[in-house]
Structure 1
Amino acid sequence: MRPVLVLTHVHYEGPGLIAPGLDTPLRVRTVVGDPAPRLPALDELAGIVVMGGPMDADDDAGFPGLAAERRLLAEAVEADVPVLGVCLGMQLLGLALGARLHRRHGTEIGFGEVDVVAEDVVLGPLGTRPTVLHWHSDAIDLPAGATLLASNDATPVQAFRAGAALGVQFHIELEPSMLDLWLGTPDLVGELDDEAVAQIRSDGARHLPTLVPAARKLVAAFADQVQARG
Protein backbone atom coordinates (compact mmCIF):
# COMPACT_ATOMS: atom_id res chain seq x y z
CA MET A 1 0.00 0.00 0.00
CA ARG A 2 1.37 3.39 -0.98
CA PRO A 3 1.39 6.02 1.79
CA VAL A 4 -0.70 9.15 2.12
CA LEU A 5 1.25 12.39 2.19
CA VAL A 6 0.09 14.72 4.99
CA LEU A 7 1.28 18.31 4.62
CA THR A 8 1.21 20.35 7.84
CA HIS A 9 2.13 24.00 8.39
CA VAL A 10 2.33 24.52 12.16
CA HIS A 11 2.82 22.06 14.99
CA TYR A 12 -0.62 22.55 16.53
CA GLU A 13 -2.60 21.85 13.34
CA GLY A 14 -1.90 18.17 12.78
CA PRO A 15 -4.19 15.67 11.08
CA GLY A 16 -6.15 14.88 14.24
CA LEU A 17 -8.77 12.20 13.71
CA ILE A 18 -7.89 12.00 10.01
CA ALA A 19 -4.68 10.05 10.66
CA PRO A 20 -6.13 6.95 12.38
CA GLY A 21 -9.13 7.01 10.08
CA LEU A 22 -7.02 6.51 6.97
CA ASP A 23 -5.65 3.16 8.21
CA THR A 24 -2.69 3.44 5.85
CA PRO A 25 0.96 4.49 6.12
CA LEU A 26 1.45 8.24 6.41
CA ARG A 27 4.28 10.53 5.37
CA VAL A 28 3.89 13.72 7.40
CA ARG A 29 5.89 16.66 6.06
CA THR A 30 6.17 20.35 6.94
CA VAL A 31 7.79 22.14 4.00
CA VAL A 32 6.18 25.56 4.27
CA GLY A 33 9.47 27.33 4.95
CA ASP A 34 11.53 25.51 2.31
CA PRO A 35 11.88 27.34 -1.02
CA ALA A 36 12.70 24.10 -2.84
CA PRO A 37 11.14 21.18 -0.95
CA ARG A 38 11.55 17.66 -2.26
CA LEU A 39 8.05 16.24 -2.28
CA PRO A 40 7.17 12.66 -3.26
CA ALA A 41 6.15 11.91 -6.82
CA LEU A 42 2.45 11.24 -7.30
CA ASP A 43 3.04 7.65 -8.35
CA GLU A 44 4.51 7.05 -4.87
CA LEU A 45 1.33 8.19 -3.11
CA ALA A 46 -2.15 6.82 -2.46
CA GLY A 47 -3.47 10.25 -1.54
CA ILE A 48 -2.68 13.70 -0.17
CA VAL A 49 -4.04 15.50 2.91
CA VAL A 50 -3.26 19.21 3.41
CA MET A 51 -3.92 20.71 6.82
CA GLY A 52 -4.50 24.22 8.12
CA GLY A 53 -2.25 27.02 9.25
CA PRO A 54 -2.28 30.74 10.09
CA MET A 55 -0.54 31.96 6.94
CA ASP A 56 -2.17 33.30 3.79
CA ALA A 57 -2.28 30.66 1.07
CA ASP A 58 -0.62 33.01 -1.42
CA ASP A 59 2.14 34.35 0.86
CA ASP A 60 5.02 32.85 -1.07
CA ALA A 61 7.42 35.57 0.09
CA GLY A 62 6.92 34.67 3.75
CA PHE A 63 6.37 30.94 3.24
CA PRO A 64 8.09 29.83 0.04
CA GLY A 65 7.13 26.16 0.36
CA LEU A 66 3.50 26.98 -0.39
CA ALA A 67 4.25 27.26 -4.11
CA ALA A 68 5.48 23.66 -4.22
CA GLU A 69 2.39 22.51 -2.34
CA ARG A 70 0.12 24.22 -4.85
CA ARG A 71 2.00 22.70 -7.79
CA LEU A 72 1.66 19.23 -6.27
CA LEU A 73 -2.07 19.76 -5.69
CA ALA A 74 -2.65 20.89 -9.28
CA GLU A 75 -0.82 17.80 -10.53
CA ALA A 76 -2.78 15.57 -8.13
CA VAL A 77 -6.14 16.82 -9.40
CA GLU A 78 -5.00 16.31 -12.98
CA ALA A 79 -3.88 12.76 -12.14
CA ASP A 80 -7.08 11.93 -10.19
CA VAL A 81 -5.19 11.35 -6.92
CA PRO A 82 -7.48 11.57 -3.85
CA VAL A 83 -6.92 14.87 -2.03
CA LEU A 84 -8.40 16.24 1.20
CA GLY A 85 -7.66 19.90 1.91
CA VAL A 86 -8.68 21.42 5.26
CA CYS A 87 -8.92 25.20 5.92
CA LEU A 88 -5.62 26.55 4.55
CA GLY A 89 -5.41 23.25 2.66
CA MET A 90 -8.66 24.05 0.86
CA GLN A 91 -7.42 27.53 0.00
CA LEU A 92 -4.18 26.09 -1.40
CA LEU A 93 -6.22 23.62 -3.44
CA GLY A 94 -8.41 26.43 -4.78
CA LEU A 95 -5.40 28.55 -5.73
CA ALA A 96 -3.81 25.53 -7.40
CA LEU A 97 -6.92 25.27 -9.58
CA GLY A 98 -6.88 28.95 -10.57
CA ALA A 99 -9.35 30.41 -8.06
CA ARG A 100 -8.90 33.77 -6.38
CA LEU A 101 -8.04 34.15 -2.69
CA HIS A 102 -9.70 36.93 -0.70
CA ARG A 103 -7.58 37.97 2.26
CA ARG A 104 -9.49 39.15 5.35
CA HIS A 105 -12.77 38.34 3.69
CA GLY A 106 -14.43 37.86 7.05
CA THR A 107 -13.34 36.30 10.31
CA GLU A 108 -15.09 33.15 11.47
CA ILE A 109 -13.82 31.73 14.76
CA GLY A 110 -15.99 29.32 16.67
CA PHE A 111 -18.72 26.79 16.04
CA GLY A 112 -21.38 27.57 13.47
CA GLU A 113 -23.59 25.97 10.85
CA VAL A 114 -22.90 25.47 7.18
CA ASP A 115 -25.42 24.52 4.52
CA VAL A 116 -24.49 21.45 2.49
CA VAL A 117 -25.86 22.29 -0.96
CA ALA A 118 -24.88 19.24 -3.02
CA GLU A 119 -24.52 15.52 -2.42
CA ASP A 120 -21.03 14.13 -2.08
CA VAL A 121 -19.94 10.62 -1.13
CA VAL A 122 -17.20 11.89 1.22
CA LEU A 123 -18.83 15.01 2.70
CA GLY A 124 -22.23 13.33 2.97
CA PRO A 125 -21.88 11.92 6.52
CA LEU A 126 -21.92 15.47 7.94
CA GLY A 127 -25.58 15.85 6.97
CA THR A 128 -27.32 18.87 5.43
CA ARG A 129 -26.65 21.53 8.07
CA PRO A 130 -23.80 20.48 10.35
CA THR A 131 -22.38 22.66 13.11
CA VAL A 132 -18.61 22.75 12.58
CA LEU A 133 -15.60 24.65 13.88
CA HIS A 134 -14.44 27.65 11.86
CA TRP A 135 -11.08 29.33 12.39
CA HIS A 136 -10.18 31.58 9.45
CA SER A 137 -10.39 35.06 7.96
CA ASP A 138 -9.47 34.37 4.31
CA ALA A 139 -11.78 32.85 1.71
CA ILE A 140 -11.35 31.26 -1.71
CA ASP A 141 -13.58 31.50 -4.77
CA LEU A 142 -14.99 28.34 -6.33
CA PRO A 143 -12.48 27.06 -8.90
CA ALA A 144 -13.71 26.82 -12.48
CA GLY A 145 -15.29 23.43 -13.08
CA ALA A 146 -15.49 22.55 -9.38
CA THR A 147 -18.74 21.69 -7.58
CA LEU A 148 -19.83 23.80 -4.63
CA LEU A 149 -20.70 21.50 -1.74
CA ALA A 150 -21.22 23.75 1.28
CA SER A 151 -21.71 27.43 2.02
CA ASN A 152 -22.81 30.00 4.58
CA ASP A 153 -23.41 33.74 4.57
CA ALA A 154 -19.96 34.63 5.88
CA THR A 155 -18.01 32.36 3.53
CA PRO A 156 -19.75 31.41 0.27
CA VAL A 157 -17.34 28.55 -0.48
CA GLN A 158 -17.15 26.31 2.59
CA ALA A 159 -16.50 23.09 0.67
CA PHE A 160 -15.98 22.05 -2.94
CA ARG A 161 -15.09 19.04 -5.04
CA ALA A 162 -12.78 18.99 -8.05
CA GLY A 163 -12.44 15.47 -9.42
CA ALA A 164 -10.95 13.27 -6.69
CA ALA A 165 -10.14 16.32 -4.54
CA LEU A 166 -12.30 17.60 -1.67
CA GLY A 167 -11.67 20.92 0.05
CA VAL A 168 -13.34 21.95 3.30
CA GLN A 169 -12.86 25.38 4.88
CA PHE A 170 -13.92 24.18 8.33
CA HIS A 171 -12.12 21.80 10.66
CA ILE A 172 -13.28 18.20 10.31
CA GLU A 173 -10.11 16.85 11.96
CA LEU A 174 -11.02 18.19 15.39
CA GLU A 175 -11.21 16.02 18.49
CA PRO A 176 -11.74 17.28 22.05
CA SER A 177 -8.04 16.98 22.87
CA MET A 178 -7.15 19.06 19.80
CA LEU A 179 -9.65 21.74 20.77
CA ASP A 180 -8.05 21.87 24.23
CA LEU A 181 -4.65 22.29 22.57
CA TRP A 182 -5.89 25.10 20.36
CA LEU A 183 -7.57 26.95 23.21
CA GLY A 184 -4.27 26.81 25.10
CA THR A 185 -2.16 28.02 22.16
CA PRO A 186 -1.39 31.77 22.37
CA ASP A 187 -0.86 32.06 18.61
CA LEU A 188 -4.47 31.00 18.10
CA VAL A 189 -6.33 32.64 20.96
CA GLY A 190 -4.17 35.72 21.50
CA GLU A 191 -6.78 38.08 20.03
CA LEU A 192 -9.76 36.39 21.72
CA ASP A 193 -11.02 37.52 25.10
CA ASP A 194 -11.73 35.09 27.92
CA GLU A 195 -15.45 35.10 27.18
CA ALA A 196 -14.91 34.08 23.54
CA VAL A 197 -12.57 31.26 24.56
CA ALA A 198 -15.06 30.03 27.14
CA GLN A 199 -17.83 30.10 24.52
CA ILE A 200 -15.81 27.99 22.09
CA ARG A 201 -15.00 25.52 24.86
CA SER A 202 -18.68 25.29 25.85
CA ASP A 203 -19.80 24.93 22.24
CA GLY A 204 -17.22 22.20 21.72
CA ALA A 205 -18.59 20.21 24.63
CA ARG A 206 -22.06 20.51 23.09
CA HIS A 207 -21.30 19.89 19.41
CA LEU A 208 -18.25 17.61 19.23
CA PRO A 209 -20.12 14.48 20.44
CA THR A 210 -22.17 14.75 17.24
CA LEU A 211 -19.51 16.16 14.93
CA VAL A 212 -16.68 13.72 15.71
CA PRO A 213 -18.56 10.51 14.74
CA ALA A 214 -19.77 12.16 11.53
CA ALA A 215 -16.25 13.38 10.73
CA ARG A 216 -14.88 9.87 11.26
CA LYS A 217 -17.37 8.59 8.69
CA LEU A 218 -16.25 11.34 6.31
CA VAL A 219 -12.64 10.25 6.74
CA ALA A 220 -13.63 6.62 6.22
CA ALA A 221 -15.24 7.55 2.90
CA PHE A 222 -12.07 9.38 1.88
CA ALA A 223 -10.04 6.38 3.03
CA ASP A 224 -12.08 4.18 0.67
CA GLN A 225 -10.91 6.34 -2.22
CA VAL A 226 -7.32 6.10 -1.00
CA GLN A 227 -7.56 2.32 -0.67
CA ALA A 228 -8.97 2.04 -4.16
CA ARG A 229 -5.87 3.81 -5.50
CA GLY A 230 -3.72 1.50 -3.38
Structure 2
Amino acid sequence: MKPVAILQHEAAQGPGILLDHLRQQGMAHVLLDPCAQGSAPADARDYRGIIVLGSNHCANEQLRWIEDERCLLQSALLHDVPVLGHCFGAQMLARAMGARVWRNPCPNIGWSTVWVTRCAQQLMDLPAQASIFNWHYDTFEIPRGATRTMYGRHCLNKGFMRGRHWAFQGHLEVTAASVRQWCREGHEELLQAQGPGVQSEAQILDGLDQHLAGLHAMALRTYRAWTDQLEQPDAMVDDVLARFRLKSNDYLRRRP
Protein backbone atom coordinates (compact mmCIF):
# COMPACT_ATOMS: atom_id res chain seq x y z
CA MET A 1 0.00 0.00 0.00
CA LYS A 2 1.25 3.46 -0.83
CA PRO A 3 2.41 5.61 2.11
CA VAL A 4 0.86 8.81 3.39
CA ALA A 5 3.14 11.75 2.57
CA ILE A 6 3.74 14.26 5.39
CA LEU A 7 5.18 17.59 4.21
CA GLN A 8 6.97 19.20 7.15
CA HIS A 9 8.70 22.57 6.78
CA GLU A 10 9.90 23.54 10.28
CA ALA A 11 11.52 21.53 13.08
CA ALA A 12 9.08 22.91 15.68
CA GLN A 13 6.06 22.19 13.48
CA GLY A 14 6.12 18.41 13.24
CA PRO A 15 3.19 16.01 12.82
CA GLY A 16 2.81 15.53 16.59
CA ILE A 17 -0.20 13.45 17.57
CA LEU A 18 -1.15 13.04 13.90
CA LEU A 19 1.92 10.84 13.50
CA ASP A 20 0.87 8.88 16.59
CA HIS A 21 -2.54 8.33 14.99
CA LEU A 22 -1.04 7.08 11.72
CA ARG A 23 1.20 4.65 13.59
CA GLN A 24 -1.69 3.35 15.69
CA GLN A 25 -3.63 2.74 12.48
CA GLY A 26 -0.65 0.91 10.99
CA MET A 27 -0.44 3.38 8.11
CA ALA A 28 2.88 3.64 6.30
CA HIS A 29 4.10 7.22 5.99
CA VAL A 30 7.01 9.19 4.60
CA LEU A 31 8.28 12.52 5.98
CA LEU A 32 9.28 15.06 3.33
CA ASP A 33 10.86 18.51 3.79
CA PRO A 34 10.30 20.52 0.58
CA CYS A 35 11.70 23.68 2.19
CA ALA A 36 15.08 22.09 3.00
CA GLN A 37 15.17 19.97 -0.15
CA GLY A 38 14.21 22.88 -2.40
CA SER A 39 11.53 20.91 -4.23
CA ALA A 40 8.46 18.72 -3.73
CA PRO A 41 7.26 15.54 -5.47
CA ALA A 42 5.24 16.01 -8.64
CA ASP A 43 2.74 13.13 -8.75
CA ALA A 44 0.25 12.74 -5.91
CA ARG A 45 -0.65 9.26 -7.16
CA ASP A 46 2.54 7.99 -5.49
CA TYR A 47 0.82 8.49 -2.13
CA ARG A 48 -2.25 7.27 -0.32
CA GLY A 49 -2.88 10.72 1.11
CA ILE A 50 -1.01 14.00 1.55
CA ILE A 51 -0.64 15.95 4.80
CA VAL A 52 0.77 19.49 4.65
CA LEU A 53 1.97 21.05 7.90
CA GLY A 54 2.76 24.62 8.92
CA SER A 55 5.62 26.86 7.84
CA ASN A 56 7.22 30.17 8.74
CA HIS A 57 6.92 31.07 5.05
CA CYS A 58 3.96 32.72 3.36
CA ALA A 59 2.01 30.62 0.87
CA ASN A 60 2.28 33.48 -1.65
CA GLU A 61 6.09 33.60 -1.66
CA GLN A 62 7.66 33.03 -5.06
CA LEU A 63 9.88 30.08 -4.16
CA ARG A 64 10.44 26.96 -6.24
CA TRP A 65 9.48 24.52 -3.50
CA ILE A 66 6.26 26.40 -2.75
CA GLU A 67 5.32 26.29 -6.44
CA ASP A 68 6.22 22.59 -6.56
CA GLU A 69 4.04 21.97 -3.51
CA ARG A 70 1.12 23.81 -5.09
CA CYS A 71 1.48 21.64 -8.22
CA LEU A 72 1.57 18.50 -6.06
CA LEU A 73 -1.69 19.53 -4.40
CA GLN A 74 -3.25 20.25 -7.78
CA SER A 75 -2.21 16.73 -8.80
CA ALA A 76 -3.93 15.43 -5.65
CA LEU A 77 -7.10 17.32 -6.54
CA LEU A 78 -7.02 16.01 -10.11
CA HIS A 79 -6.60 12.38 -9.02
CA ASP A 80 -8.65 12.63 -5.79
CA VAL A 81 -5.78 11.82 -3.45
CA PRO A 82 -7.04 13.09 -0.06
CA VAL A 83 -5.24 16.16 1.33
CA LEU A 84 -5.14 17.36 4.94
CA GLY A 85 -3.77 20.88 5.42
CA HIS A 86 -2.73 22.60 8.66
CA CYS A 87 -2.26 26.41 8.72
CA PHE A 88 0.27 27.03 5.90
CA GLY A 89 -0.92 23.71 4.47
CA ALA A 90 -4.51 24.99 4.52
CA GLN A 91 -3.45 28.13 2.67
CA MET A 92 -1.57 26.04 0.11
CA LEU A 93 -4.62 23.84 -0.46
CA ALA A 94 -6.78 26.95 -0.89
CA ARG A 95 -4.30 28.28 -3.48
CA ALA A 96 -4.27 24.94 -5.29
CA MET A 97 -8.07 25.22 -5.52
CA GLY A 98 -7.79 28.70 -7.05
CA ALA A 99 -8.69 30.69 -3.93
CA ARG A 100 -6.88 33.80 -2.67
CA VAL A 101 -4.57 33.93 0.33
CA TRP A 102 -3.94 37.33 1.91
CA ARG A 103 -3.03 39.07 5.18
CA ASN A 104 -5.54 38.59 7.98
CA PRO A 105 -6.68 41.86 9.60
CA CYS A 106 -4.69 40.90 12.72
CA PRO A 107 -2.26 38.15 13.75
CA ASN A 108 -3.84 35.07 15.31
CA ILE A 109 -1.40 33.62 17.84
CA GLY A 110 -2.22 31.44 20.81
CA TRP A 111 -5.35 29.64 21.96
CA SER A 112 -8.69 30.77 20.62
CA THR A 113 -12.25 29.56 20.31
CA VAL A 114 -13.60 28.30 17.00
CA TRP A 115 -17.18 27.45 16.12
CA VAL A 116 -17.74 24.28 14.14
CA THR A 117 -20.37 24.24 11.40
CA ARG A 118 -23.14 21.67 11.53
CA CYS A 119 -21.84 19.66 8.56
CA ALA A 120 -18.38 19.38 10.16
CA GLN A 121 -19.91 18.42 13.50
CA GLN A 122 -21.64 15.50 11.83
CA LEU A 123 -18.83 14.40 9.53
CA MET A 124 -16.00 14.69 12.06
CA ASP A 125 -18.00 13.97 15.24
CA LEU A 126 -17.00 17.33 16.74
CA PRO A 127 -18.60 19.64 19.30
CA ALA A 128 -20.16 22.91 18.19
CA GLN A 129 -17.37 24.90 19.87
CA ALA A 130 -13.72 24.12 20.55
CA SER A 131 -10.36 25.70 21.38
CA ILE A 132 -7.46 25.33 18.94
CA PHE A 133 -3.86 26.53 18.77
CA ASN A 134 -2.95 29.21 16.23
CA TRP A 135 0.16 30.94 14.94
CA HIS A 136 -0.53 32.70 11.65
CA TYR A 137 -0.71 36.09 9.98
CA ASP A 138 -2.51 35.18 6.73
CA THR A 139 -5.95 33.86 5.86
CA PHE A 140 -7.72 32.42 2.81
CA GLU A 141 -11.04 32.66 1.08
CA ILE A 142 -13.23 29.56 0.96
CA PRO A 143 -12.48 27.93 -2.42
CA ARG A 144 -15.19 27.46 -4.99
CA GLY A 145 -17.12 24.27 -4.31
CA ALA A 146 -15.79 23.99 -0.75
CA THR A 147 -17.72 24.35 2.52
CA ARG A 148 -16.60 26.26 5.61
CA THR A 149 -16.08 23.92 8.58
CA MET A 150 -14.87 26.33 11.29
CA TYR A 151 -14.86 30.05 11.93
CA GLY A 152 -13.30 32.28 14.57
CA ARG A 153 -13.61 35.70 16.15
CA HIS A 154 -10.33 37.15 14.86
CA CYS A 155 -10.14 35.06 11.68
CA LEU A 156 -13.37 34.16 9.91
CA ASN A 157 -12.26 31.22 7.82
CA LYS A 158 -10.69 28.65 10.12
CA GLY A 159 -11.39 25.59 8.03
CA PHE A 160 -12.97 24.19 4.87
CA MET A 161 -13.56 20.90 3.12
CA ARG A 162 -14.20 19.84 -0.44
CA GLY A 163 -14.80 16.15 -0.80
CA ARG A 164 -11.93 14.24 0.81
CA HIS A 165 -9.74 17.37 1.01
CA TRP A 166 -9.78 19.11 4.40
CA ALA A 167 -8.00 22.24 5.63
CA PHE A 168 -7.65 23.89 9.04
CA GLN A 169 -6.30 27.40 9.67
CA GLY A 170 -4.73 26.33 12.91
CA HIS A 171 -2.81 23.50 14.55
CA LEU A 172 -4.59 20.40 15.80
CA GLU A 173 -1.39 18.35 15.87
CA VAL A 174 0.71 20.20 18.47
CA THR A 175 2.11 18.62 21.64
CA ALA A 176 3.33 20.20 24.89
CA ALA A 177 6.92 19.88 23.68
CA SER A 178 6.24 21.48 20.28
CA VAL A 179 4.30 24.41 21.79
CA ARG A 180 7.11 25.11 24.24
CA GLN A 181 9.73 24.85 21.49
CA TRP A 182 7.69 27.15 19.27
CA CYS A 183 7.48 29.72 22.06
CA ARG A 184 11.23 29.54 22.66
CA GLU A 185 12.02 30.00 18.98
CA GLY A 186 9.38 32.72 18.59
CA HIS A 187 10.18 34.61 21.81
CA GLU A 188 11.11 37.86 20.06
CA GLU A 189 8.22 37.50 17.63
CA LEU A 190 5.77 37.22 20.52
CA LEU A 191 7.17 40.41 22.07
CA GLN A 192 6.57 42.31 18.81
CA ALA A 193 3.22 40.83 17.70
CA GLN A 194 0.22 42.96 18.59
CA GLY A 195 -3.52 42.76 18.20
CA PRO A 196 -6.67 41.36 19.82
CA GLY A 197 -5.89 37.85 18.53
CA VAL A 198 -2.39 37.64 20.05
CA GLN A 199 -1.50 35.98 23.34
CA SER A 200 1.74 36.36 25.25
CA GLU A 201 4.06 33.44 25.91
CA ALA A 202 2.79 33.26 29.48
CA GLN A 203 -0.84 33.12 28.29
CA ILE A 204 -0.03 30.40 25.75
CA LEU A 205 1.69 28.20 28.32
CA ASP A 206 -0.79 28.81 31.14
CA GLY A 207 -2.98 25.73 31.55
CA LEU A 208 -1.19 24.04 28.63
CA ASP A 209 -2.08 20.49 29.67
CA GLN A 210 -5.77 21.35 29.94
CA HIS A 211 -5.76 23.07 26.56
CA LEU A 212 -4.02 20.12 24.93
CA ALA A 213 -6.38 17.56 26.46
CA GLY A 214 -9.35 19.20 24.76
CA LEU A 215 -7.46 19.82 21.54
CA HIS A 216 -6.20 16.24 21.26
CA ALA A 217 -9.67 14.79 21.82
CA MET A 218 -10.95 16.92 18.96
CA ALA A 219 -7.93 16.28 16.76
CA LEU A 220 -8.08 12.50 17.05
CA ARG A 221 -11.74 12.49 16.05
CA THR A 222 -10.88 14.67 13.06
CA TYR A 223 -7.88 12.57 12.04
CA ARG A 224 -9.86 9.35 12.39
CA ALA A 225 -12.59 10.72 10.13
CA TRP A 226 -10.03 11.82 7.54
CA THR A 227 -8.01 8.59 7.51
CA ASP A 228 -11.23 6.56 7.28
CA GLN A 229 -11.56 8.02 3.79
CA LEU A 230 -8.21 6.66 2.62
CA GLU A 231 -7.78 3.46 0.64
CA GLN A 232 -7.74 0.39 2.84
CA PRO A 233 -4.37 -1.29 3.48
CA ASP A 234 -3.61 -4.42 1.47
CA ALA A 235 -3.68 -6.49 4.66
CA MET A 236 -7.26 -5.47 5.34
CA VAL A 237 -8.25 -6.18 1.73
CA ASP A 238 -6.53 -9.57 1.91
CA ASP A 239 -8.37 -10.35 5.15
CA VAL A 240 -11.72 -9.51 3.59
CA LEU A 241 -10.90 -11.69 0.56
CA ALA A 242 -9.76 -14.55 2.80
CA ARG A 243 -13.00 -14.44 4.79
CA PHE A 244 -14.97 -14.34 1.54
CA ARG A 245 -13.11 -17.42 0.25
CA LEU A 246 -13.78 -19.31 3.49
CA LYS A 247 -17.49 -18.54 3.23
CA SER A 248 -17.49 -19.51 -0.45
CA ASN A 249 -15.70 -22.81 0.22
CA ASP A 250 -18.06 -23.56 3.09
CA TYR A 251 -21.03 -22.90 0.81
CA LEU A 252 -19.61 -25.18 -1.91
CA ARG A 253 -19.07 -27.99 0.61
CA ARG A 254 -22.68 -27.68 1.77
CA ARG A 255 -24.11 -27.91 -1.77
CA PRO A 256 -25.83 -31.26 -2.56
Normalised by the length of structure 1, the TM-score is: 0.89
**1:145 matched residue in structure 2:** 145
**1:208 matched residue in structure 2:** 212
Quote how far apart the aligned CAs of 1:25 are. Answer: 1.4
Q: Distance in 2 between matches of 1:144 and 1:87?
A: 19
Which consecutive aligned stretches of 4+ in structure 1 deviate over 6 angstroms post-superposition?
none
Q: Distance in 2 between matches of 1:49 and 1:65?
A: 16
Q: Distance in 1 between matches of 2:166 and 2:42?
A: 20
Q: Which has the larger radius of gyration?
A: 2
* SS, match of residue 198 in structure 1: helix
* SS, match of residue 155 in structure 1: coil
Cα contact 2:4–2:29 (8 A) shared by 1:
yes
Cα contact 2:173–2:219 (8 A) shared by 1:
yes
**1:25 matched residue in structure 2:** 28
Decide which structure has greater helix share: 2
**2:163 matched residue in structure 1:** 163
Q: Distance in 2 between matches of 1:177 and 1:80?
A: 34
Q: Distance in 2 between matches of 1:90 and 1:143?
A: 11
Normalised by the length of structure 2, the TM-score is: 0.81
Cα contact 1:32–1:64 (8 A) shared by 2:
no
**1:98 matched residue in structure 2:** 98
**1:54 matched residue in structure 2:** 56
* Matching of residues 31-110 of structure 1 within 5 Å: 31-32=34-35, 37=39, 39=41, 41-60=43-62, 63-110=63-110
Point out where structure 2 has 5 or more consecutive residues left out of the alignment.
193-198, 235-256
Quote how far apart the aligned CAs of 1:150 are. Answer: 0.7
Aligned length: 225
**2:241 matched residue in structure 1:** none
Cα contact 2:45–2:79 (8 A) shared by 1:
no
Q: Distance in 2 between matches of 1:121 and 1:67?
A: 33
* SS, match of residue 112 in structure 2: strand
Q: Distance in 2 between matches of 1:163 and 1:221?
A: 12
Q: Does 1:176 align with 2:176?
A: yes
Cα contact 2:114–2:158 (8 A) shared by 1:
yes
The root-mean-square deviation of aligned C-alpha atoms, in Å, is: 2.2
* SS, match of residue 103 in structure 1: strand
CA 58–44 in structure 1, closer or farther in 2 if over 3 Å, else same: same
Deviation digits for residues 172-227 of structure 1 (CA, Å, limit 9, x no counterpart): 00121221221222xx2322249811110014233111211221222122222224
Q: Does 1:199 align with 2:203?
A: yes
Q: Distance in 2 between matches of 1:11 and 1:220?
A: 25
CA 44–191 in structure 1, closer or farther in 2 if over 3 Å, else same: closer
Point out where structure 1 has 5 or more consecutive residues left out of the alignment.
none
Q: Which amino acid aligns with 2:227?
A: A
**1:190 matched residue in structure 2:** 188
Q: Distance in 2 between matches of 1:150 and 1:77?
A: 21
**2:245 matched residue in structure 1:** none
Cα contact 1:4–1:25 (8 A) shared by 2:
yes
Q: Distance in 2 between matches of 1:3 and 1:198?
A: 39
Identity of aligned residues (%): 29
CA 177–121 in structure 1, closer or farther in 2 if over 3 Å, else same: same
Q: Distance in 2 between matches of 1:13 and 1:163?
A: 26
Cα contact 1:121–1:221 (8 A) shared by 2:
no
Q: 2:223 aligns with which of 196, 219, 230?
A: 219
CA 210–123 in structure 1, closer or farther in 2 if over 3 Å, else same: farther
Q: Which amino acid aligns with 2:211?
A: H
